[in-house]
Structure 1
Amino acid sequence: MDYGLAWVLVGSLMLLGSIFAGLLSARVGAPLLLVFLALGMLAGREGPGGILFQDSQLAFILGSTALAVILFDGGLRTPRATIERGLGPALALSTLGVLITAGLVAAAAHYLLGFGWVFALLLGSIVSATDAAAVFMLLGKSGIALRDRLRATLEVESGSNDPMAVFLTITFTEMLATGHLDLGWHVAADFALQMGLGGVLGAAGGFALVWLMNRLELSGGLYPILALAGALLIFSGTQLAGGSGFLAIYVAGIVFGNRRVRADQLVGRFFDGLSWLSQIVMFLLLGLLVTPSELLPDLGTALILAVTLMLVARPLATLICLTPFRFPLREQAFVAWVGLRGAVPIFLALFPFLEGFDRSGQAFNIAFVVVLVSLLLQGWTIPWVARRLHVALPPEPEAATRLDLDLARRTDRMDRDLIGYEVMPHSRAADFPLAALELPRRTRLVAVIRAGIVQRLPEVQQLTAGDFVLVITPPETAATLDRFFSRRFASTAGQLSVDQGDFLVEGSSRLRELCAAYGIELGQADPNISLAELLRTRLGEGMGRGDRLRFGQVEFIVVDKIGPEPKRVGIVLEPDAGETGWRRKASSRVRSRLRRWRLRLPSIGSGAGSG
């Protein structure tokens, strides 16, 4: 009994240490997952903790479950609009990109380091996929604002490329077991079967879980447990049926997160905490498994493969996969650098361990060093790289405090949410009289609480900062409401770099006015439509912040959106793809000064200092 309690004590201390170390890492800018991994190593047999942990089977089971939970949580937080924006390029990266990456790393392992082809291909497969936990955390916690399509591509790729890496790792592990390389058509057929089953069973399981959640009358605390049990059932059942369980649970999370579900806010908060716990446990366990002294013999080999991966394989795979989708080179370079490796390669390196191969320890050590190098170099420098490549957009305004309240409902009879907001200073809600505040369609303000006192709505002339309001709204307009009650920057244009616009104009501006003010040739476009209508027509309803449209001799860039409507648009005058770096900045400043006299129409824009 005392022995069991000792393990509970050690485990709780490690979790507490991870949380406090995470707070410290945020202050120094260290990648949080690297901190978890380092704590696991310190607690291991060669660290101060001295814990002897060598159960690779237990680590594999716990790692699989943790990764499944992380993927389901990632799917929950992936809106349909994100899928629509990033699906094509993300699928290219998660299939062809993984193959190219694995092949190039394998070629380096074979020609530079002398490994046999099967073992070299196994190494390439193990390190070929980006890590969902690392990328989700990076994009969610770093505060980097990216073009919507770029961000969507990174998020969807990180959640969908694990199945390809798992398939390749299992395939080459089995080839090592048989002793020969056999890449026949049956391998492609197996891949199609696994991906097909994973996608179909994941979608079907997601819809079934939504149906079950909405039909059962349970105590509130049981709904998150039901969701967890259903998600793990989809994962394990698909895996046992011969499909990709990792793809299935990610797809199920997307389906679940984009449907009306009873107690959805409670489920979301539960999985947010569970995802954090899964990341901590997975990295701590993998840190415990490693023996630092055994890394030294394979250190040089691992460094060569890490450099090949980061500077050759991933960039070439990104270039080949994203060029057909017309991503600018600087965005392709950023995607290449965000190919962050985390727990997934170390987890995949457990497959040879489970087969008992003599060189399984070497594969594990190489994967571990590659992950360390990736977290140290890429994880620590991504915000700096985003700024240097000019892919970081102006930061989003400070979000309003938002409280989602679950309504007791059968979701097929009620399609409204009750949301509470704290009105932020300088928000749109506080800048206009209540009668002039154009809330989204089918949205109603039901209560205003000011200084702790519920106000009579007919007597409220205007909302003020610090008010707490209750709003009933359809779920699809919640993101639009967020922007109404959030703080606005005093000068959004001042946040813009020259790569995001020489001038800033309102989306409601008519093309006729823009052409007269900025000397733009109208071409075949209707002069009476607004710039917002032009952008919606040319870019589609799924356009996001940072999306660009070349229009004659200028380029329009979506800077700010309220729902589907582009509210503010940047204009780049005479964009030249060949101008980069200091030449682009200097020429843009000159053009800006020469054309300021054109700013005669206040309704169109207010120059570089507009709000």
Structure 2
Amino acid sequence: MDSLNLFLLIGTGLMFIGLLLGSLSTRIGVPSLLMFLLVGMAAGEDGIGGIEFDDLSTAYVISNIALAVILMDGGLRTRMDTFRLALKPALSLASLGVAISAALVGAFTTWLMGVDWRLGLLLGGIIGSTDAAAVFSVIKGAGVNINERVASTLEIESGLNDPMAIFITLMLVGVLVEPDAAFGFGMILTLVQQFGLGAIIGLGLGAVLSEILLRVRSNEGLHALLLCSGGAMVFALTNLAGGSGFLAIYLTGLVAGNRRGGTGDNVLRSMDSMAWLAQSGMFLMLGLLITPSELGQHLLPALLVALFLMLVARPAAVWVSLIPFIFTWREKLFIAWTGLRGAVPIVLAVFPLLAGVGETRLLFDITLVVVLISLLAQGASLRYMARLLKVSVPATASPKQMVPMAHSANRYLMQFEVEEGAKAQGQRLGTITTQRITPILIIRDKTFLNLSEDPQIEAGDMVSWLAPLSEQDYLSDMCHKITVAERRYFGDFIVRGSVPVDQLVAVYGIHELEEQLKGMTVEAAFEDHFGQHAVVGDTLKLGGLRLRARTVEKGRVIMAGIKLPQ
């Protein structure tokens, strides 16, 4: 009993310290995952804790379970509109991008260290993919709101790129274990199987799981547990069938989070706690697995490989993969820099060790250094790079509460508190209500107002609306005082996308206008330039006016900010 209590004390103590330091690390821009890793290293055999842990099989199993929970949570938070927007570029990065990155790193490692080309390429496959846990965590904790095109591409890429990385790793492990075996069409079929079965099973069972949960009336905590356990079943079943469990559970979360009203805020908060538990426990355990004294033997080549990956291989892979898509050079550069490595490369590095491939401890040590450098350099600098490259947008004030309504054509119940100095203050309810917005309730001093009397809105009122998600920014602008950052970024005035361009430029006395824009609306002008892929923050110049997309729905600009000429 004493040994059990001691084990419990050490485990929970490490978790508490990691969570405490992780919550503080965001203030100085250091990724919380790095703090968990460092706490684990400090408690390990080379640290003050002196805990010896080298059970690779246990680490492999726990890491897979944790990654499944993290990917499930990421899928739940991905809106279907966002998924459609970023699917093609993310899929290109997850397939072609991983292959290019692996090939370049493999060639560089072979040249630098003089190892067998198969070992070099194996290292490239291991560290070729970005990590979902690192990407989701660092983007959420960066303290900046990255534009949707970039953020969704990075997040979806990290959820889709595991099949390619696993394929390359297993293929090279097979080549090293059985040099005389023939690897041709069968390996290509394995890759197709990984992607295909992962997608089919994930989407199919995700729909089944979401239907079951919609019919089971349960509290939020139990609902989140049902989601996790059901997702874990999908993960295991897909792996047994020969598909990618990581891809399947991400798509299961995507379907469950978007089907028939999606998942409520309370369920997402419960899932967020589970994801934090999973990633903190996983990185603490991986930290215990690291022996810093052994890393020093290959520190210099590992640093050079990490720098080559960040500065050469990843940027080249991003530039080639995104050629067919609409991304600015700033966005491409940011995506290239935010190729975060984390738990996935460490888990993949365990594959050759478990298979008994020679010299793979060298690859494992290099992988650990690459992950540490990636989290420290790329993770810690993400917020600064986002501002430097101008891919961040001001965050809109969120509703007090927002609940998806089932069977309501993607409508949400949103509650806002009207701030002093907001546009809605002093206006009649009817003057700020549109066809897409239905006022439900106004509470003033704990009293319910009669909406049929078209009351005048005052500061402090709690107003509830039924509206589509695309109207959230409009309601936020009406109920909250616009910040200096929002005014500086979007401009002093907001215009609807349905406003004709001719009328807009006439109001502001602009005479220089491109011929093809005449007769278009603001929305059509954005579509002419960006296609149906516009996101918040995209900029369009009309004569001397600068329009910046303020609210976007399915690639259509609903509202735009106006920046007047000097």
Q: TM-score, normalised by structure 1?
A: 0.84
Q: Is the 8 A contact 2:544 2:564 kept in 1?
A: no
1:98 positional shift:
0.2
2:462 is aligned to: 468
Q: Kindly tell me: are residues 32 and 438 of structure 1, through their superposed partners in 2, closer, same or farther at Cα, counting changes over 3 Å?
A: same
Q: Is the 8 A contact 2:142 2:382 kept in 1?
A: no
Q: Which amino acid aligns with 1:258?
A: N
> Kindly, what percent of the aligned residue pairs are identical?
37
Instruction: Say if 2:68 is the partner of 1:68.
Output: yes
Decide which of 526, 536, 561 is 2:551's aligned counterpart.
561
Tell me the SS of whatever aligns to 1:446.
strand
2:315 is aligned to: 315
Instruction: Say if 2:387 is the partner of 1:423.
Output: no
Tell me the SS of whatever aligns to 2:396.
coil
2:512 is aligned to: 520
* 5+ long unaligned stretches in structure 2: none
Decide which of 432, 441, 444 is 1:437's aligned counterpart.
432
Q: Is the 8 A contact 2:539 2:548 kept in 1?
A: yes
Q: Which amino acid aligns with 1:104?
A: L
1:193-234 Cα shifts (integer Å, max 9, x gaps): 111000000000110101111223446543222211110011
1:547 is aligned to: 538
1:577 is aligned to: none
1:237 is aligned to: 237
Q: Is the 8 A contact 2:470 2:552 kept in 1?
A: no
1:518-550 Cα shifts (integer Å, max 9, x gaps): 3323413443x4323432465455521123457
1:568 positional shift:
2.3
1:149-179 Cα shifts (integer Å, max 9, x gaps): 2222122112211221122112212222213
Tell me the SS of whatever aligns to 1:260.
helix
1:390-431 Cα shifts (integer Å, max 9, x gaps): 3333x1233332253x87xxx559976544333344545446
Q: Is the 8 A contact 2:433 2:439 kept in 1?
A: no
Q: Which amino acid aligns with 1:461?
A: P
1:593 is aligned to: none
Tell me the SS of whatever aligns to 1:134.
helix
CA distance in 2, matches of 1:69, 1:513: 51
CA distance in 2, matches of 1:505, 1:457: 27
Instruction: Say if 2:505 is the partner of 1:506.
Output: no
Tell me the SS of whatever aligns to 2:357.
coil
CA distance in 2, matches of 1:311, 1:263: 39
1:471 positional shift:
3.2
CA distance in 2, matches of 1:88, 1:556: 29
1:321 positional shift:
0.9
Q: Which amino acid aligns with 2:536?
A: R
CA distance in 1, matches of 2:247, 2:546: 37
1:185 positional shift:
2.2
Q: Which amino acid aligns with 1:467?
A: D
Q: Is the 8 A contact 1:400 1:487 kept in 2?
A: no
1:266-293 Cα shifts (integer Å, max 9, x gaps): 4322211111111101110100001110
Q: Is the 8 A contact 1:197 1:238 kept in 2?
A: yes
1:460 positional shift:
6.7
Tell me the SS of whatever aligns to 1:384.
helix
Q: Is the 8 A contact 1:227 1:267 kept in 2?
A: no
CA distance in 2, matches of 1:385, 1:370: 20
CA distance in 2, matches of 1:431, 1:106: 65
Q: Which amino acid aligns with 2:395?
A: E
Tell me the SS of whatever aligns to 1:258.
helix
CA distance in 2, matches of 1:220, 1:521: 54
1:4 positional shift:
1.6
Q: Which amino acid aligns with 1:91?
A: L
1:558 positional shift:
3.0
Q: Is the 8 A contact 2:449 2:455 kept in 1?
A: no
Instruction: Say if 2:401 is the partner of 1:402.
Output: yes
Q: Is the 8 A contact 1:146 1:546 kept in 2?
A: no
2:154 is aligned to: 154
Instruction: Say if 2:88 is the partner of 1:88.
Output: yes
* 5+ long unaligned stretches in structure 1: 571-604
1:40 positional shift:
0.7
Q: Which amino acid aligns with 1:224?
A: A
Q: Kindly tell me: are residues 170 and 184 of structure 1, through their superposed partners in 2, closer, same or farther at Cα, counting changes over 3 Å?
A: same
CA distance in 2, matches of 1:228, 1:318: 33
* Mapping of residues 46-445 of structure 1, within 5 Å: 46-179=46-179, 183-218=183-218, 221-260=221-260, 264-393=264-393, 395-404=394-403, 411=406, 417-430=412-425, 432-439=427-434, 441=436, 443-445=437-439
Tell me the SS of whatever aligns to 1:324.
coil
1:32 is aligned to: 32
CA distance in 2, matches of 1:530, 1:518: 16
CA distance in 2, matches of 1:329, 1:472: 39
CA distance in 2, matches of 1:217, 1:153: 34
CA distance in 2, matches of 1:86, 1:262: 19
Q: Kindly tell me: are residues 149 and 40 of structure 1, through their superposed partners in 2, closer, same or farther at Cα, counting changes over 3 Å?
A: same
Q: Kindly tell me: are residues 444 and 176 of structure 1, through their superposed partners in 2, closer, same or farther at Cα, counting changes over 3 Å?
A: same
1:448 is aligned to: 442
CA distance in 2, matches of 1:237, 1:482: 43
Q: TM-score, normalised by structure 2?
A: 0.91
Q: Which amino acid aligns with 1:131?
A: D
Tell me the SS of whatever aligns to 1:400.
coil
1:496-528 Cα shifts (integer Å, max 9, x gaps): 6xxxx9x9773465322455533323413443x
1:489 is aligned to: 483
1:450 positional shift:
2.5
CA distance in 2, matches of 1:240, 1:295: 35
CA RMSD of aligned residues (A): 2.8
Q: Kindly tell me: are residues 173 and 482 of structure 1, through their superposed partners in 2, closer, same or farther at Cα, counting changes over 3 Å?
A: farther
Question: For this pair of structures, how many residues does the alignment match?
Answer: 561
Moved more, 67-76 or 359-368: 359-368
Moved more, 344-353 or 89-98: 344-353
Tell me the SS of whatever aligns to 1:112.
helix
Q: Which amino acid aligns with 2:294?
A: E
